[in-house]
Structure 1
Amino acid sequence: MEDKKDFSWAVTVTAPFNYPIEIHKGYLGNDKKMIAAFISTGLNENGWNYDGDALSGGNTLPTLLSLTWISYAEKKFWKIETSIDQAVQNKMIALFKEGYMNKDREGIWSHLTYKNITVGLAPGGTVVLWLTGKNRRVEVAHYQAKETFVSVDEFYRNPHEHTQQGFYDFCFKSYVPKETQAYIKEKGVPVNLWNNYRTKYKYHFNLHFYKADKENLERYTKYVNGEEEKEKVEEIVLDKSKALPEYVRFYFNQYNAEAEFDGEEILAAFKKISKNHPDATIEIEARVAFMYKTVVFTVKCGGEEIPLEKVTVRMWKNKA
């Protein structure tokens, strides 16, 4: 087992929520053969933390990535042609071997390993590779694609006989959600956002629930950089550098809570507070409101406080 370098995996593709992409063609392979083909499955826009549908796969680690896709919000095609170097392969092998602990619905912790190589495609030509398993995702590589050209007639049969620009405009109106269209009209496509999401900060949650309650057993977190993990509470390392939270579920004795953060809001808060307090550990205070109606989140450091006002919170009482 120590020398094992081949692991069974499937390839999946994902894109940020409301920024739809569609695959043109591509593959994962090595210098001898294509291992897994990227087959277009239509629009993909379900979110950076969504794993995507499993396409083909293999049991040999890839050393080459080739992929061409269209970003409908940007009205352009992107292409990535890159080697997956030895350092990345070594990281993948180590992660496959190490695996991780996961708790199932029956409350039993068991050892699992990763099942998918997930490719994330974001505006600006951002490409991220993760290893993904149940309740677990870890980034293993990051690349920059180049803008390319694919004619509309090569991309699909073009039944409406669109010109290239007509095709872009039609798909933008048809596939890009209205709220994203409005955002782009006001601010432009946030081409640097998903690279900025990869920035890691030293921070921890400071939980203020009622004294009669207590965080219980585990915490589940999805991060804005696409990583995710379920941790045993007693094993959580305070103040380690990590990406900012996108979603957190807290398990307590009496009540449970889950919070969905606005990525741009929490990123702006951390940028501001870390600039004013470089190298300091930042706190995200989570304070339960009266009668467990909600949880209020505030970013704090060195006496400075920035309330997070766009957090969606859901709470429910545990069954007796």
Structure 2
Amino acid sequence: MKTILITLLCSLLLLHSCTRNKAMDAENKENFPYMVTFSAATDFPSEVHEGFLADEKKQLICGVPKAGTEEGPWQSDGAEAGMGADVIPAHLDLTYVSYAEKKFWRVDAELPKTKILEAFRKGFIFKGTPDEKGNQPMVHETFGRITIGAAPGGVIVVWLSKIHHRIEICRLQAKEVVVDVNDFYDNPHKRTQKEFFDELYKISVSDSMKTDIAKNGIPYGLWDKYREKFRYRFLLRPYDEKDHFTFQSQQYFNGEANLFYPPHFDKNEYIIASLPYILNAGFTIYNAEIHFDYEETSKIFKTLQEKYPKELIDIVLTPTFQYNKIKVSVKCRDIEIPLVRAKVKQIWGG
């Protein structure tokens, strides 16, 4: 028994040492491999014309992939198309077309190189590969993708992402530019500039979005509203007191994402984040996927903040017997308001 305990202790110390050494190695690194992707806002398709990442001297590091039309959602990374490098970029030059707006945009701007490097070094902790006994140790990992997202109004957001983790690096502003349609593509039908925009609007934008644009216009400013952050947590009100969270994969409307395991949320700590977009949660037996409505959640959060400006907010999940349903509500002090537009897409397990 004594030999077994010594062996176990040595194994734990070795694991801790390897994880710590990996994190320390990352702290001293200057170069991190990554792929580059381009994405678009939900229902607002866009396509790269030309673009690249560069260093401080504006020397080319790698291109931004021309992988065809990207249709979103805002929280997706888009196609890699083989573009990548390992040098931290300091500059972005990108020209793209927004089919819903019938415009070309160009962003030519500095990137926060120091912030990007620090984020790569910091990385994140997640559950690693299971060992022969099925145990998954917590290990240090870092990001592997730089994603450039385009939204109406020339809004550009840059994220780092990997394995359900996604963080915003910066928000940039593109300017409208004129690009000759013949320089953009072969133009076999010899379309004029107007004919090109009208035809691509017709075939690229969904009918539902065309109807919405005709009625309400393009919702400029929405993607900056998504970036507003609040302090809140997810709270389980279990049917069985033995039940608890086993993981939370949280996607937010601003495009960021987090993956939490115990002991991350064992203390029920509050996070500072954009409003939730999708929650995938694991419980003792069951799992659930919940989608949130931005307008509803935003209105309720702001109402509660006005009433209780210094109080914290809980998003409460209340499952029924055997998880046939999960009620979702927002609670602050003595006020609890149901999220009627929050949709439990699926519940599985048991």
TM over 0.5: yes
Q: Are the aligned partners of 1:255 and 1:315 in contact in 2 as well (CA < 8 Å)?
A: no
Secondary structure (helix, strand or coil) at the match of 1:190 reads coil
Contact 1:297 1:307 in 2 (8 A): yes
Unmatched runs of 5 consecutive residues or more in structure 1: none
Equivalent in 119, 127, 136 of residue 95 of structure 1 = 119
Other-structure match for 2:158: 129
Structure 1 counterpart of 2:106, from 71, 76, 79: 79
Unpaired runs of at least 5, structure 2: 1-24
Is 1:34 matched with 2:60?
yes
Give the match for residue 227 of structure 2: 198
Matches of 1:256 and 1:213, distance apart in 2:
15
What is the aligned counterpart of 1:261 among 273, 292, 298?
Answer: 292
Give the structure 1 partner of residue 213 of structure 2: 184
CA drift at 1:249? 1.2
CA contact (8 A) 1:77 1:150 kept: yes
Equivalent position to 1:56, from 83, 86, 89: 83
Q: In structure 1, what is the equivalent of residue 236 of structure 2?
A: 207
Residues 255/148 of structure 1: CA separation in 2 closer, same or farther (3 Å cut)? same
308-317 or 253-262, which deviates more: 308-317
The aligned residue for residue 311 of structure 2 is 280
2:179 matched residue in structure 1: 150
| Counterpart amino acid of residue 269 in structure 2 | L
Structure 2 match to 1:6: 31
User: Which of 167, 183, 188 lines up with 1:138 in the alignment?
Assistant: 167
Shift of 1:291: 4.5
TM-score, structure 2 as length reference: 0.84
Q: Residues 32, 121 of structure 1: CA spacing in aligned structure 2 closer, same or farther, 3 A cutoff?
A: closer
For the structure 1 residues 4 and 289, does the alpha-carbon distance in structure 2 shift closer, same or farther, using more than 3 Å as the test? Answer: same
SS at match of 1:183: helix
Residue 124 of structure 1 aligns to a residue whose secondary structure is: coil
In structure 2, what is the Cα distance between the partners aligned to 1:283 and 1:151? 51
Contact 1:253 1:318 in 2 (8 A): no
Q: 1:22 aligns with which of 47, 51, 63?
A: 47
* Residues 237-248 of structure 1: pairs in structure 2 closer than 5 A: 238-248=269-279
Counterpart position of 1:45: 71
Question: In structure 2, what is the Cα distance between the partners aligned to 1:81 and 1:270?
Answer: 36
Q: Could you tell me which of 233, 255, 269 is aligned with 1:226?
A: 255
Query: Which segment drifts farther, 212-221 or 185-194?
Result: 212-221
Shift in Å at residue 11 of structure 1? Answer: 0.7
Checking the alignment, whether the CA contact within 8 Å between 1:294 and 1:315 is kept in structure 2 is no
Contact 1:23 1:70 in 2 (8 A): yes
Q: Name which of 270, 276, 279 aligns with 2:301.
A: 270
Paired residue for 2:283?
252
Q: Which letter does structure 2 place at the counterpart of 1:266?
A: T
Q: 1:291 to 1:6 in 2, by over 3 A?
A: closer
Identity of aligned residues (%): 34
Q: What is the RMSD of the two structures over their aligned residues, measured on CA atoms?
A: 2.0
Q: Deviations over 1:224-259 (max 9, x none)?
A: 111111112432362332111111111111211110
- Give the residue type in structure 1 aligned to 2:48: I
Taking the aligned partners of 1:179 and 1:209, their CA distance within structure 2 comes to 39
How far residue 95 of structure 1 moved from its aligned partner, in angstroms, is: 1.9
Matches within 5 A, 1:294-309: 294-309=325-340
Higher Rg of the two aligned structures: 2
Deviation at 1:196, TM superposition (A): 0.6
CA contact (8 A) 2:239 2:318 kept: no
| 8 A Cα contact 2:54 2:61, kept in partner | yes
2-structure distance, mates of 1:69, 1:307: 41
